[in-house]
Amino acid sequence: MESWNTPLPARLPVQPDRLKLYDTASQSVRHPGNLAEASLYVCGITPYDATHLGHANTYVTFDLLSRYWRACGLPVTYVQNVTDVDDPLLERATATGVDWRDLAAEQTELFRSDMEALNVLAPDHYVGATETVDWVVASVEALVANGTAYPVPGAGSEPDGDIYFSIDAAQEATHWTLGSVGRHSAEEMATVFPERGGDPDRPGKRHPLDPLLWRVARPGEPTWEGRSLGTGRPGWHIECSAIARRLLPAPFTVQGGGSDLRFPHHEFSAAHATAADGQPLAQAFVHAGMVGLDGEKMSKSLGNLVLVSRLRSQGVEPVAIRTALLSNHYRDDWDWTPELMTRSMDRVARWRRALELQEPGDGAALLAAAHRALSDDLDAPAALAQVDRWADEALARDDRNPAGLGPDGASGTQAADVDPSSPDVRAAVNGLLGLTL
Ligand code: 5CA
Ligand code: ZN
């Protein structure tokens, strides 16, 4: 489907990639290899409600990663999906009496406009689950053929033939073991599985945590032709696994999403890919923390949402929203507060005042310092502290020399020894941090 359109920043002159990132699977901060190019898959929205600040935080986090790599001159291939058919979307459409396709299209459009406003660079491939059913069918058929997927007989109201992934068979056939990607304990996995779409009590499954790969047709549900699988629709985890394998290298560099995707989603997306071809899904699994409101995770199902679109319609500048998000480390869980919004608006206003007072060389120095901060597991709060530090200095310079004139009466901004191609502060902050001052 159509992506959105955020202008690419100018190439920034920064040193080659020194990035260290926390990888959930190895539970360590490490450099994801000496890269000649980078590939990124970030799990996209399920479009049944508007973008809230939790979503925005996750996409801004991975936008920072994509900007970091691009600033280093690495070619980046970025894929994002849209889960435009799934149970929660169908349930919401039924409950509100709208066509599920219209709901998905409308919410995806709102998401695009929120991302554009937040200056999030567009993915190279933006793909809907409904556009890639053939890829899923081929993947599931391959898993059935190699014995890591099996049909479950009908029981009660459930028809015959849903296809599930066999945890036990995959563990026997590959290096993947249950929990090796999301790193939850067995108890935690058993707790969150039913909360995140799993069906541990479905009769006929071999293992209670075996996830659904292909759901055969039910009356009133959308279906697609599934060749040997029969008509039906894709399970959730195989969607991202199949899309990533089609569009990115095996393994690709970073699989991204919020920490609520560690299990079951990223665990099983990775397991499906490995069961199909023996390769890990990605070199690193990177997870953003959860944004909450009054101590509860912000979520569509709880309804405790602060929407990006609502803040925008109240006149809040997107750059202030982005500043508020970046002032928390991406791995932390944190609560949104109105005070954070106010502080961030003040911060942006102060940076803008300082911008009038920048001197040649300020942009290059700030770029290097902010880039160094991001190299340490994308430490955005430290990068913003560098912007504050530059603003402090610029404003202090102005206090000492209010007219901006040098001792000989020449303007202080006419230094001759600065490389004219080096970015000014506005270009550096926009390019690397995505903040439009
Ligand atoms: N379509 C699937 C992924 S394939 C999905 O999880 N969609 S979602 O709309 O529920 O979430 C989209 C992204 O936002 C996911 O990466 C999820 O981890 C992240 N997310 C959801 N709620 C929050 C939150 N409160 N804080 C931070 N990130 C969140
Ligand atoms: Zn996904």
Q: What is the pLDDT of residues 163-216, one digit of tens each?
A: 999 999 999 999 999 999 999 999 999 999 999 999 999 999 999 999 999 999
| DSSP-derived secondary structure for 290-335 | PEEETTEE--TTTT---BHHHHHHTT--HHHHHHHHHTS-TTS-EE
Strands (E), 84-130: 125-128
- Confidence check: pLDDT of 413 > 60: no
Atom 21 (ligand 1): residue with closest C-alpha?
55
Alpha-carbon radius of gyration of the chain = 24
Mean pLDDT score, 349-364: 95
The string of pLDDT tens digits covering residues 426-437 is 999 999 999 999
Picking from 103, 75, 130, 110, the residue whose alpha carbon sits closest to that of residue 4 is 110
Distance 265 CA to ligand 2 centre (A): 7
Beta-bridge partners for 255: 41, 285
Cα(129)–Cα(134) distance, integer angstroms: 10
More confident residue, 98 or 299: 98
CA angle 4, 8, 9 (to 5 degrees): 145
Q: Are 375 and 381 in contact (CB under 8 A)?
A: no
- Side chain identity at residue 143, one-letter code: L
Q: Which residues contact 108 (CB under 8 A, 6 or more apart)?
A: 1, 45, 47, 82, 84, 128
Distance 56 CA to ligand 1 centre (A): 9
- Confidence check: pLDDT of 16 > 90: no
Structure tokens at 165: 């992934």
Q: Are 181 and 285 in contact (CB under 8 A)?
A: yes
Distance 201 CA to ligand 1 centre (A): 25
- Identify the pLDDT of residue 113: 97
Distance 258 CA to ligand 1 centre (A): 6
Measured from the Cα of 290, ligand 1's closest atom is 26
Distance 267 CA to ligand 2 centre (A): 11
Cβ-count burial 343-354 (b if 16+ within 10 Å, e if not): ebbebbebbeeb
229 lines ligand 1 (CB under 6 A): no
- Confidence check: pLDDT of 410 > 50: no
- Identify the pLDDT of residue 275: 98
Mutate to test the pocket of ligand 1, among 45, 92, 286, 308 (most ligand atoms within 8 A of CB): 45
SS3 7: coil
User: Which backbone phi and psi does 204 adopt, to 5 degrees?
Assistant: 95, -10
Distance 268 CA to ligand 1 centre (A): 16
30 lines ligand 1 (CB under 6 A): no
Q: Which of 122-126, 210-214, 304-308, 352-356 has the lowest mean pLDDT?
A: 304-308
Q: Are 211 and 237 in contact (CB under 8 A)?
A: yes
Cα(81)–Cα(41) distance, integer angstroms: 8
CB-CB neighbours of 171 under 10 Å:
17
83 lines ligand 1 (CB under 6 A): yes
Distance 417 CA to ligand 2 centre (A): 50
- Side chain identity at residue 269, one-letter code: S
Question: Chain-wide mean pLDDT for the chain?
Answer: 94
- Identify the pLDDT of residue 23: 98
The string of pLDDT tens digits covering residues 297-315 is 888 778 889 999 999 999 9
- Identify the pLDDT of residue 34: 61
Atom 18 (ligand 1): residue with closest C-alpha?
258
Q: Are 70 and 292 in contact (CB under 8 A)?
A: no
Mutate to test the pocket of ligand 1, among 1, 49, 55 (most ligand atoms within 8 A of CB): 55
- Confidence check: pLDDT of 1 > 70: yes
Cα(93)–Cα(99) distance, integer angstroms: 6
Cα(299)–Cα(8) distance, integer angstroms: 31
61 lines ligand 1 (CB under 6 A): no
Confidence of residue 330 (pLDDT cuts 50, 70, 90): very high
Measured from the Cα of 259, ligand 1's closest atom is 18
Cα(359)–Cα(405) distance, integer angstroms: 12
The string of pLDDT tens digits covering residues 255-281 is 999 999 999 999 999 999 999 999 999
Atom 9 (ligand 1): residue with closest C-alpha?
45
Picking from 229, 80, 243, the residue whose alpha carbon sits closest to that of residue 159 is 229
The string of pLDDT tens digits covering residues 38-72 is 999 999 999 998 889 999 999 999 999 999 999 98
pTM score, two decimals? 0.95
- Identify the pLDDT of residue 415: 52
Distance 158 CA to ligand 2 centre (A): 26
Confidence of residue 348 (pLDDT cuts 50, 70, 90): very high
Confidence of residue 412 (pLDDT cuts 50, 70, 90): very low
Measured from the Cα of 58, ligand 1's closest atom is 28
257 lines ligand 1 (CB under 6 A): yes
